[in-house]
């Protein structure tokens, strides 16, 4: 089903069915085209479009998917409230020059039902941070991305750094499945004030988005305060600041070793770090992170 805008004569091809998408992609691959893949859950913003841009620059055929995957929501309320903006998403992708959009139904993705058919042995990645606070979330992410990678068979996969731990999980998945897919992690896109763009931000009003900036501001402050030694006082200080800024609940503020996500209690000043935050503001769970290179 071709879908095109008249203004720029862009031609993004849209598929709902796996077999039709695969026939289309098979032809492209026989002509030697490299496939770049951007998996999303829609409600697209500039962060997603950066992934598409990177894919367009790196590969010959960019495929984006929009599928709000029910199996990765540990909170039914979050799933129910997840923003759906399909028409606007299609428009954005076309304007960006995306070649193919895949929008499957739940039935198409999970014809035998949504229950998991395998357990992914993610190890510690599932016990810490997002893994600890969102039970089964990464099992659902692996389930859907495994299925999408089987369907699309991309050469390159584009992921946003905002979901730092998800990037690690998906690198683990690609290695576990021994896929030839190369992962590109694209830096977080922020608004002019520093707020990380996120589909969930659209559930916050403008003044609430101003409040949400406290996460970025505190991560920036942390960078100026880091010195070798114990780090707990810094994370505690940030938690206090976030509560004072109006956040109602903090899941974590953690300073970790970036390749393992092990929390660094005492820093030797020699290793890179990543600071990761997850906190609720007006019922919306926001996450963000900053990579700190020495
Ligand atoms: O990051 C997301 O939007 C989702 O977790 C993903 C990777 C599209 C899987 O549903």
pLDDT tens-digit readout, 208-220: 999 999 999 999 9
In a domain, 294, yes or no: no
For tokens 């659209």, the residue is 202
- Give the distance between the most distant pair of CA atoms in the chain: 60
Quote the CA–CA distance of 294 and 284 in Å, as a whole number.
33
Nearest CA to ligand 1 atom 1: 40
In a domain, 95, yes or no: yes
For residue 166, how many C-alpha atoms fall within 13 Å in the half-sphere facing its CB?
26
Residues 86, 112, single domain; the answer is: yes
Number of domains in the chain: 2
Give the residue-averaged pLDDT of 239-244: 98
Question: Rounded to an integer, what is the distance from CA 293 to the centroid of its chain?
Answer: 22
Residues 142, 275, single domain; the answer is: no
pLDDT given for residue 294 in this prediction: 87
| Residue where one domain finishes, among candidates 130, 161, 186 | 186
Model confidence pLDDT, tens digit, residues 189-210: 999 999 999 998 889 999 999 9
SS3 169: helix
Of the listed ranges 79-83, 90-94, 227-231, the one predicted with least confidence: 79-83
* Ligand 1 neighbours by CB, cut-off 6 Å: 39-41, 69, 72, 141, 144-145, 163, 166
Residues 156, 42, single domain; the answer is: yes
pLDDT given for residue 202 in this prediction: 87
Residues 212, 152, single domain; the answer is: no
Strand 229-230 versus strand 156-160 pairing type:
unpaired
- Cα of 163 vs centre of ligand 1, distance in Å, is 9
In terms of residue numbers, what domain contains 220?
199-289
Catalytically active residues, by annotation: 48
Nearest CA to ligand 1 atom 6: 40
Residues 19, 152, single domain; the answer is: yes
Query: Residue 203's domain is classified under what CATH number?
Result: 3.30.1300.10
Residues 151, 96, single domain; the answer is: yes
**CB of 174 within 8 A of CB of 150?**
no
Query: Residue 15's domain is classified under what CATH number?
Result: 3.40.50.620
Residues, the chain, total? Answer: 294
Cβ-based neighbour number of residue 47 at 10 Å:
20
Residues 221, 99, single domain; the answer is: no
pLDDT given for residue 10 in this prediction: 58
Average of per-residue pLDDT values in the chain:
95
Work out the percent of the chain whose per-residue pLDDT is above 70. 97
Residues 77, 127, single domain; the answer is: yes
Give the closest residue to 222 by CA, choosing from 240, 239, 235, 241. 235
In a domain, 193, yes or no: no
| Residue where one domain finishes, among candidates 139, 163, 186 | 186
Q: Which atom of ligand 1 is nearest to the CA of 65?
A: 8
Residues 76, 182, single domain; the answer is: yes
- List residues bridging with 252 in a β-sheet: 278
**CB of 197 within 8 A of CB of 190?**
yes
- Cα of 228 vs centre of ligand 1, distance in Å, is 36
Model confidence pLDDT, tens digit, residues 149-171: 999 999 999 999 999 999 999 99
Question: To the nearest 10°, the Cα dihedral for 252, 258, 264, 270?
Answer: -150
In a domain, 63, yes or no: yes
In a domain, 155, yes or no: yes
CA distances from 159 to 116, 178, 185 (A): 23, 18, 5
Residues 32, 73, single domain; the answer is: yes
In a domain, 194, yes or no: no
- Whether the per-residue pLDDT at 5 is higher than 90: the answer is no
- Cα of 69 vs centre of ligand 1, distance in Å, is 8
Counting ligand 1 atoms within 8 A of each CB, the residue from 103, 120, 144 with the most, and so the one to mutate, is 144
Residues 217, 176, single domain; the answer is: no
- Cα of 16 vs centre of ligand 1, distance in Å, is 18
Quote the CA–CA distance of 206 and 38 in Å, as a whole number.
28
In a domain, 14, yes or no: yes
Residues 174, 228, single domain; the answer is: no
Of residues 9 and 133, which shows the higher confidence score?
133
Q: Which atom of ligand 1 is nearest to the CA of 145?
A: 9
| Residue where one domain finishes, among candidates 153, 186, 219 | 186
Cβ-based neighbour number of residue 224 at 10 Å:
6
Model confidence pLDDT, tens digit, residues 94-107: 999 999 999 999 99
**CB of 190 within 8 A of CB of 290?**
no
In a domain, 191, yes or no: no
């Amino acid at each position: 089903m071709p879908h095109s805008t008249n203004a720029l004569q862009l031609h993004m091809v849209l598929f709902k069915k796996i077999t039709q998408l695969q026939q289309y992609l098979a032809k492209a691959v026989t002509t030697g085209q490299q496939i770049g893949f951007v998996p999303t859950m829609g409600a697209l913003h500039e962060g997603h479009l950066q992934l598409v841009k990177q894919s367009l620059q790196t590969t010959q055929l960019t495929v984006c998917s929009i599928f709000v995957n029910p199996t990765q929501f540990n909170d039914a309320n979050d799933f129910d409230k997840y923003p759906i903006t399909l028409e606007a998403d299609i428009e954005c992708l076309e304007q960006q020059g995306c070649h193919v959009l895949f929008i499957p139904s739940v039935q198409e993705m999970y014809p035998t039902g949504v229950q998991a058919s395998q357990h992914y042995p993610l190890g510690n990645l599932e016990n810490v941070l997002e893994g600890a606070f969102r039970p089964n979330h990464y099992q659902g992410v692996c389930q859907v991305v495994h299925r999408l990678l089987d369907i699309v068979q991309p050469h390159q996969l584009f992921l946003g750094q905002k979901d730092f731990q998800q990037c690690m999980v998906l690198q683990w998945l690609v290695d576990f499945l021994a896929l030839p897919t190369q992962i590109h992690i694209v830096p977080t896109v922020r608004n002019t004030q520093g707020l990380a763009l996120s589909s969930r931000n659209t559930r916050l009003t403008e003044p609430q988005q101003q409040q949400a900036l406290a996460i970025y501001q505190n991560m920036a402050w942390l960078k100026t305060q880091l010195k070798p030694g114990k780090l707990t006082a810094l994370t505690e200080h940030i938690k206090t600041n976030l509560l004072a800024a109006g956040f109602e609940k903090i899941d974590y503020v953690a300073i970790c070793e970036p390749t393992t996500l092990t929390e660094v209690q005492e820093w030797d000043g020699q290793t890179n770090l990543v600071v990761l935050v997850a906190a609720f503001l007006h019922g919306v769970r926001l996450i963000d992170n900053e990579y700190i290179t020495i």
